[in-house]
Amino acid sequence: MLGGVRHLSIEADVEAMVRENRVTEMRAGVQQHTLDQSVVLHLLPGVLFLPVFIIAGPLAERVGLPLHLVPSLLGFVLAIIPFELGYLLYQGKKLNGKLSLRGVVLYREPIPWWQYIALGLPMLLWAAFIFVVIAPPVDSFFIERFFSWVPDSFFQDALLDSLDQYSQSTLLVTGIVFVALLGIVVPLVEELYFRGYLLPRIALLRGWAPVVHIALFSLYHFWSPWQNVARILAMSPLYLAVWWKRNVHLGIIWHVVANTLSALGLLGMILNAA
């Protein structure tokens, strides 16, 4: 008899959990992904980027184009942007019958304009502190111990050490394209795909959703795994705020600002050293 009561109690607990998950899913307003499905969709763009980046490195060196910059550009143009934007438009076509992001890209709840600054500016300063002060020794630690075998084309230092091989005009044109692509297009597409599409679809994880999402987004950068620790530290406040406020525009604005400043800084270093 006691076993039967215990069995009924377990069944009741399971039913309560199922009901709670269904409520959470309805509040999310979308079909939820399984964890396995979400992991694949988080990591697949990086998997597609990596072979393009690896193959483009020797090719760029052979034809005399800037190392690291050109492989990155080709990886973004041939893998990251087509897959992420294409997948969103494909989902929009299935949902709306036309190429549209309506109902696909979520987290569009409005916030007062001042919150974009009050939340975003401290996060930008935090990210700058992490990448300028914390990242260099941490990245060096992981590179020396685990990634010393990685080809030189994976590192910005290889570019900076070989600037005398390229003309000023080649560096300027490539650098400007790099700033436009990495500073604006890539972060825009990434925010739509990762924060606007994937993050709302793991709402069943509840409070763990942003934690899992941030970890997977960092791991997706297969071309720079030594930066995972610094990257997670730097971006966690921003993406927690996006999840908290359910506002993808917050992520778009400050991801674009951060990437643009970073790309401009690299361009300045290139032109000054060339």
Closest by CA position to 120, among listed 256, 261, 251, 264: 251
Which pLDDT score is estimated for 148?
Answer: 93
Within a domain: 201:
yes
Structure pTM?
Answer: 0.88
Answer whether 158's CB lies under 8 Å from 235's CB.
Answer: no
| Three-state DSSP class for residue 147 | coil
Write out the two tokens for 72. 């990155």
- Indicate whether 19 belongs to any domain: no
Domains of the chain: total: 1
Domain boundaries, position 51: 32-273
Quick check: is 23 in a domain?
Answer: no
Dump pLDDT digits (tens) for 185-235.
999 999 999 999 999 999 999 999 999 999 999 999 999 999 999 999 999
Distance CA 153, CA 14 (A): 52
Structural contact between residues 72 and 177, judged by C-beta atoms closer than 8 angstroms = no
pLDDT at position 15 over 80? no
Residue-level pLDDT at 197: 98
Report yes or no on 111 lying in a domain.
Answer: yes
Domain membership of residue 5 (yes or no) is no
> Residue 256 has which token pair?
């674009």
Locate 258 and state its tokens: 């951060």
Residue 29: is its pLDDT beyond 70? no
Q: Is 7 domain-assigned?
A: no
How far from 13 is each of 1, 3, 8, 137, CA to CA, in Å? 19, 15, 9, 49
* Inside any domain, residue 134: yes
What secondary structure letter does DSSP report for 31? P
pLDDT tens digit string along 91-138?
999 999 999 999 999 999 999 999 999 999 999 999 999 999 999 999
Query: Residue 7: is its pLDDT beyond 80?
Result: no
Q: Is residue 55 part of a domain?
A: yes
Cα torsion 196, 198, 204, 210: sign: negative
